[in-house]
Each structure stands twice: as C-alpha cells, then as structure tokens.
Chain A
C-alpha cells in the first residue's frame, strides 16, 4: 500500500472496497491485511465449502429415499458422511462466524482500526486455504477420502486404507489457523479498545468472540496433538492408542473431546453474540441483563471445558466418570438459559420492528430451544445410552449448530451485509427463502429426532421398513431446505451486485459499526471515538 493511496483514502473516507493498494484485482484481496477484506475472504471461502457440504448432505438424504442401494454403495455413503462432517465442522462452522463477521466487526465494534496482528490475520486465512488444498488432495489421491466419520475414532482410523493421514493433517493445519484467529482477537480486545470502551461497555458480540477465542487458544492444541498421534501411529507405528501395544483407545476419545466438546460452544457462542446484537436493535431498547449475558458467555466457555465425557457414556469409561460428566453437563444449561430468558425479556413489551435479521434471530431461538432441551435429555446417562449413535443425536446436533449457530450467521448476513458491501437485499425473496428453510429444516431434523428415538442408527446407508415413511418426510424436507438455502445465497449475491445503496444506519443500531460510513473506510474511523456509555443506548430514540 503506497503512502499516498493510504493518506488519500483516510482523508476522503473512501470505502475499503475502492481503495487502490499496492496490488489490484485478486491480489489486492488475497494479500490484503485489512481486517474487512480478510473477513470477506473468509466469507467467500466458508460459503464455498458450505455449498459443497449442503450437496453432500442432500446426496445422503437421496440415498435414504428408498430402501436398499439407491444412489451409492455403503462404502461411498461412509465417505460422504465423513466428508460432510469434516467440511461442515472444520471448514465451515468453526471459522464460519469468527473468521467472517468476527474479523469484519470486532475491530469496528471496539473502535479500533484493525486487529492487533494484521499480518497474522492474513496468515490464518492462508493456512485455512492450505488446509483446504490438503483436504482436496486427501479426497482425490490414493485410496480417497477417509471413511471414519469426522470424529476419526481409533482403532478404525488407524486401520482403514483411506487417506486418513492427509485428512488429519488438513484438520491440524485448520486448527492452527483457528488458533491464530483466537490469539489475535484476545490481543485486540485487550489492547485496542477505544478510549472509554471498558469491558462492560463492549457489545455482546465481542464478549462472545472473546470467550470463543479463549476456547480456540486453550482447547485446539489438545486435539492437534491427538490428531498428530494418530498420524504417528499410521506412519511410524507409535501405537499410543493401540491396545496391542498397551495403549487405550478410549484415551483418544478423551483427548479428542477435550477439544471437540468445547468446540461446539466455540461454534455456537458467536451465534449467540449475533442474536444479542440483533434483538436490542430491532426492539429499540437496551438489552435486558447486559452483564448477565456477557458473563454467561464466559460461563458457557468455562463450564463447556468440563463436560467432554458426556460423549463417552457408552465407550467403556468408568461409571464414576459418566456420573461426574453428566452432573457437570447439566450446569451448561444455566448460563444458556440466562441468555434465552434475557433475550425474551428484552422483547417483552418492546416496540419491535420486524425485519429479516430479527426473523432469523427468532428462528435461532426456536431451534436452539429444541436443540438445547434435547441436549439436556442427552446429558442424562439413562436417556443417552438409549439414543446414543442414533438419528436423535444427529437431529439434536443439527438443531443447535445448524438451526442455532448457522441461522444466526444467516441473520448476521442480512443484518451486517448492508454495512459490509453497502447494498440492501430484496426483502420479499429473503422472507420466502427463510420460510422455505424453516419448513425444510424442521421437516428434516424433527423427523430425524423422532426416528432416532425409535432406534434408527446414524451412519447407516440403509434403513428398515418401519422407518421408511419418516425417511421419506425427511428427504422431502431436505429439498425444501436446500431450495431455501440456495434462494438465500442467490438473494445475497443479488444484493451485492444489484441491490439498492444502503444507508449508513439502516436498522437504527447503536453500536459503533453504525456510526462509520457504509461501506466503512480503510481504517474505519477518521477520529477514534471516545466511548461514554454502554453499547445499546436506545434512550434518545425512545423518548
């Protein structure tokens, strides 16, 4: 970036999209250290993987359309659900909100010009790309994509001839990328808050990202070494988890879930942060229980690291451990419920302006309530032993992650999209897409939960006659869902290229991102603002 270009951009408040840097075109994006451009780079990449993941899921549903072999062999089905899981978890949802919305809005919302380590931020995207390339190699070389499921449980992940080693290495690199994002966010929140922006004046989205960042830094390395140990066993025969060499396969599950359970909070916390932004804006009032919501994010991150063993009730861990884990798991419900009650209390008797982002926040609440309450059922050992490894778990997981976290991300795209690319979306098609998504989503996953409770096991490519009708409903639901998703993506792309110009503050939001031009200039603020009150100060408008 040449000095003059930067100076001019700052003086004229030129949009970050128009600034001419050292490179132009594609290079101006992939070598940019601007947090906003990196945020959009992430957005483009994660949605590319999201679409691939959607179609993998659709193919799995099509396989279940009839009994017996419909589209693919059992072996192919195994690879498909592995790829679906790996892509949706590691490539889509983990970087899905922190990498996109977090990168774009964390610095703006705390009044900073960029993240603390801008070049490290770019490196983390490049690592993401490297992981993606490795994963592609894993799919198309040698014996092809792993067929282990995204959990890579030993001993099968050591014995299978498929490309597990490469897939694990890709996941390892993505973990590194995720760690760098977390590290950067923690340093940014601690060092770059605008004058007067105390911790208790930060928007709730920042609180959720901050809690998430700690999980990224503290839990990811543990899964990193675990995956490395599997790679070592596959390549050098160091059988740390191999019973023939005195190893314990269940230790793999412990180490895996030490990360991967907190990881589900890592996926959902930023979604909760988004909802905490959307609700006060459209309710036109200060959020109810700001400190409770803020600290409940920290609480969820904290308690979330204590409960990994609830994935292992049937693994052969000691019953003492199961009881302890079950007991601790129920505690996660407390900070989660605190959030839900405060959101609902904010809406109570508010003069709500119903817009698409708000509808998505409501969809989040509805889905997350079902996902969260079935989570409590799973936490109870007796119920979980019954439903373990059935569609009930799959349904529960999709209600929390997809219906919860990802719907919050969709909401954020409509809420912050106008700020990011400066264009409004077509409201009617957005609403139609949402309705299709809601119908499809609930047809698919509610039916799955029902089937699971009846005993339909997960990861089977075939089903028994008594499940046929339900499978039919679920598959038809998946068609609605995919149509709704594609329509939404179309609406957003249309808004980017053909949408009406967005005003500076279309929703009447009170956080800092609404006080900078749309789209924001290169360094966000001409003059760094001094903060004198909390983030959701709607008082003036209410009076």
Chain B
C-alpha cells in the first residue's frame, strides 16, 4: 500500500518508516496537469468513443422494472367527454394504468405557474399532450395497450399561428401572460418626427432541441415512501420538487441524480419533470421500479421547443446613420401553458438592442397562447429572437440609407468607454464589441470580399452571393435574480484524492471538466486526482438549472469556495504545526512549501487528518451586485456581457432558393478561457445549431394543429455537409472579464448560437443582390428554407 500512508486498520499514526512524511522528496513540477486554461479533453471523452459512458438507458435494469408509455392527445383543443381505459388495463403485460386519479399530490409538473397537468382531467390543449400512462412488463406491451383506450372528445376551436393566437387573445381580452414593456426616453415622439425612419416586420420559427438522447427517467421506490429518481435533466432540484409535490411528500423524500445527459440545450430544464413524475407515480403505485424513455417522435410531439416570434421594428436614424430611437413590438408564441415563457420573452426584450446603444427605445412584448406544445428554454432563451429582430432592422436600415450594413452597425455600437445605458437602464461598462468587430473585419478580409461578392454577382445570372458581419452582445446571469446561486461539496480524502460535487449538470458542454480544473488549480494538484461525481440533490440542495450559460460561472465559484475553505484549514494547520506565518505556506504543483520544507500535497493532507482537521467542505456562491425590478423594467439584471462577431459568406440559387454557407469567420470573447478547447467546441457547435434554426430546421403544423415534422426524417438539423470547410474560428486573445468571475473567464454556452445571425443576414444580402439592389426582401422570414428564399427573390424581382 504505497499510495496510502495511513491505513484504516492498525493504530492511527503508526506509519511505515519508509513512508514517513518528508522521507520521499516531492517531485518538483513547474505546472500541474489539467489546471485552469489547459486544453484538457472532456472528462468522458474516452468513455464516449468506446461506448462506455453510461446514459440512463444504459444502466442495468433492476428486476421487475416496469416500462412506461405515455399516451398522447390527438386533438389540439378538446373537452374530454369520457375516457374508458378498461381495455388498456386488461391488455397483456399491463401492470397498471396511470391517470390523474392516481396522483396523491398536485397534478402538475410546471416550473412556476401550476398550469402543466401531468394528466389532464377535463380538456386537452395540444396534439401530443400526455393523456394517461401505461406501465407494463415491456415497452411494446405498454404501447400496444395504450391503443385500446376509448375516449370521446368534444372539439373546441384551436389557435396555432400568430394571427389565430392574436385573434383569440384579443377576443378573450387576455394574453397567456401579461404584456411587458421597457422604455428609455420617449422613443415614439422621436420616431414620429424622424426624417429617416425604417419600419418592417420579421417572423421566425421555433426549433426542436433534438438532443440525441431523448427524454428519459427512472424511479426506484425506497422505504418510508422515499424515491430515487435518475433523470436526464438540467435541473435536478426542480425534478425533485415536482416529484415531491406530485407524491405529496417532502422534498427530502425524493433524491434526483444525473451523471450526464446526451444533450440538453434547454430542452431538459423544465420538461424532464413530467417523465420523472410519471415513473415516480408508477413506482409509488406499484412498488416496482419504473422507467419512462421516449421514442423520438413522441419526444418531439410531447415536449416544448424554442418560441416562435414575430417582431415589428421601427427605427429612426440621423443623417450619419446613428439610431435616434427604436421601437420593437414582440409577439411570442408560448404554446398552451406558461412554462418559462415569461422569462424567455423578457430575455428577447433584453436583447432587442443587441450591441447597439439606443438613445431612446420602447420595447413591448405580448405572450400569446397557442394550442401547441408549451414552448420552453432553448439555448439563448429568447435572446436569439430579440437579437434577430434588431439585426434585421439593421439590414433594412442599411438598405434604406444606402450604407454597407457593417458601416451602419459600427456607427451604433455601445462605446468601449463611458456608460451608455440599455433600454432597461443598465450601464454597459464592458463593451468590447467595437474592438472585436474591427479585428474581425480585418482578419476576415471583409472589404475585399465585399468587392469579390459584387463581382461574382455581376457575372452570374443564376447564383448570388451575400456577405454579412454581425455582432453579438449577450447578457450573462439568470434574469430571475435569485437563481444566480450555486453550491458545491468537496471532499479531500486522506490519500490526497479529491471528490468533487456541485449543483451543475453535465450535458456535453464540459462543465464537469472545467470545474475540476478549477479545483485542481486551487489545490495545485493534477486534475487526475479530482474525481468528478454525478449531480445529486442529496449532496447539493436547492440548485438552479444548469442554464443561462451560467454553469461554470456559478458552480466554478462555488467549488472554488469549497476548496478554498479546505485549503485555508490546511494552511492553518501547517502554520500551527510548523510555526510559520501564513504567507510561508505556499501551494506549489502537487506539493506545499511550508517555511523552508516542501511536502507532497497528500502528505500534508494525511498529517492534517491525523490532527483531526476537517477535510470536507461545502462551497456557495451568489452572483454579487445584480438586481432587476420588473415593475419598472429597469435595473442591472446581468453581471456582465459576452461579446463576439461572425462574418458569413453565402450563395443562393435564385431559381430554386437553395442556399449554402461558404465560409464563416468567428471572433469570440470568452474572457480568459478556462479551457480553450472546450470553449471552441461550444462556439462551433452553437454556431452550427444557430445555422440550423435559421436555415433548415422548420416546424410545420397542419390545419388540425398536428406537428408534422416530428422526427429526423422530416425535421432537418444540420449535417456535416452543412458546415463550411472554410470555418475560421478564433478566441479573442485580448479577452478578459472585467467582472470578477471565475479566473476572469466568460460564459460560453449560449452567446455563440447568435453568431449564426450573420448567415441569415448574408442570405438577405444575397437576395437583395438577386433584385439588383432595387428592393429589400421583406418577406424573407426564418428559417430561410429554399422555398422562403425563392419567394424573397421573387419579391425583390417583382
């Protein structure tokens, strides 16, 4: 047992003399392996490629595990007159059928508003809404049995698109959520007397998350009515709370655990509570473990998506192309229930300015009910929609003012110095967008390519190119202020190894790797000594969702604080034991200098254990200095902003509307990167996902309110051939967070998604070229499918 100096057996402190502290000289390393800023691989990379990384459905199933199938509504809006499930119950293999009547507590899985019934009792409000569930010995039996249900419905009128939703809301005199407004100055007065005024409207589609691992959870019943739920969720605490309130037990009776998800993107923030609740209910009712894993089509029909938005813009400009005032009216399609729509629609408003200082602004937002699945969090959380509205306005204004769109954009950026305020009254003190765009303009060779694109367009009758360079400024923090908190739990074992746990969840973004790097850095030990463990509500309570790009900001800090507490105890021990002042205890790579001697880290830890020093600590972090008053729509909702820019070149076929991205250049600010390799992965992946939203990914509902694009055969996320070979991605080397974040890094999960707006702007530019610059393609909505591009070409040529 060379590794463990102190054995559990035997008398504490009796040590093999050969292994005595100080006997073995520490290795003098200049740098730990896997500290902060190292390009460490994802902690599970080797497991991913060998298929040994376990996802929930890979866990060995305990004997007797029931398989649960959720039957769905085929009506968009109907009253349930009667439902006869007797044939379902009698079907082969069926153990139980679950309905609202089985729920001991609250029949609800919503995050906030109490309006998402697990099983509806009187009416259904979207095609795909859960109706009842069947728990059987096999999933095939459960599925087959569900088809035997007999139900009578009375159809009610349904609203699916914006116009129908508006009409219904106006008739009812009420929107799904109250409207909201932000004001800065008197924008309408300025607009009313403006000489150069640009108005228009843009509609953008939603987006399915298409995480490769579909929704899944399983529940293991325990004693005393306890239940252990393993859930593929970004929000274990919310799953815990929802299961508890459904079962009418205290939160402490429910433990939720997640090691990793096969992708989340926001789709596993509020949605997983449903599946966890259903299998917990099955477990509660039968006493048997129960699993609920969704088929892809069912997942896409049953779960929420990115919000569709319709944005009207109205901007006034001075003679130099500076914005004098801007007004945006947002219409947001929420689906049948509130879910997170309020905060999402708010974030769309927070990003209506994108990177531009608006001397006067009015932003209104209406949140509309539709008889479709309840839209939910998706990377960017409303930000992309708000930002796209502004960038369309910029493209339109540049067209009307006869300017290169980049020149117009540059004239309106938030300045680097000074403190121009946002429409919600927050001073922007950290703007680096001007600098980033200058640099990207240079490195992307924008001006020369602008000329080359023009030449190409003059020489080709059927194909037209477009070019655009667009900025991103994205606010970092949950705008619901209390969510900006995190906890961690760090144990140092007496062999010097470390177990790390925190409230963040791993969905592929590399959060676990980054936080482990933080802990390694703080202790100055190789990251291989830090064990990454599954997120569980039993270790860190009351966590926020891993969302809002906040994972490493919040959990990194909490883990740092936990490690620092233990480190402080080790320092205090060393000071006392070796009678040195505090500043003479220095943590060096894998060793500690105490006065004029050096010890291996693990030797110091072993000694501290013998001296009865606690080697375990929680850590906590709450983002300082943020607040937002929703009544006045003002405050400082964000701790800081993340910035980036992208330049895209596209080509369109004016005869078919087909289009391709030819090249993209990205310059993105991640502050001082915790892990450049992981950050690049987030940026590239975010960009391509954004590209899908704006080009090929189309949600298509038929007249009956049925989503007809509910599988990869019909819903088209990008493939490898959609990513241009010429993809030039750089982290901004000057990046440093002015806010005191974890090692001065910046959040990177969501902001890069919106870099893809450059591709949409470039498509707009290409369509303008197709009309020889005579008209602006007002009809070019998102996603820019071949059909929409062709229609826009017709419009500008019309």
Q: Do A and B bind each other?
A: no
Q: Using CB atoms and an 8 Å cutoff, list the residues of chain A in contact with chain B.
A: none
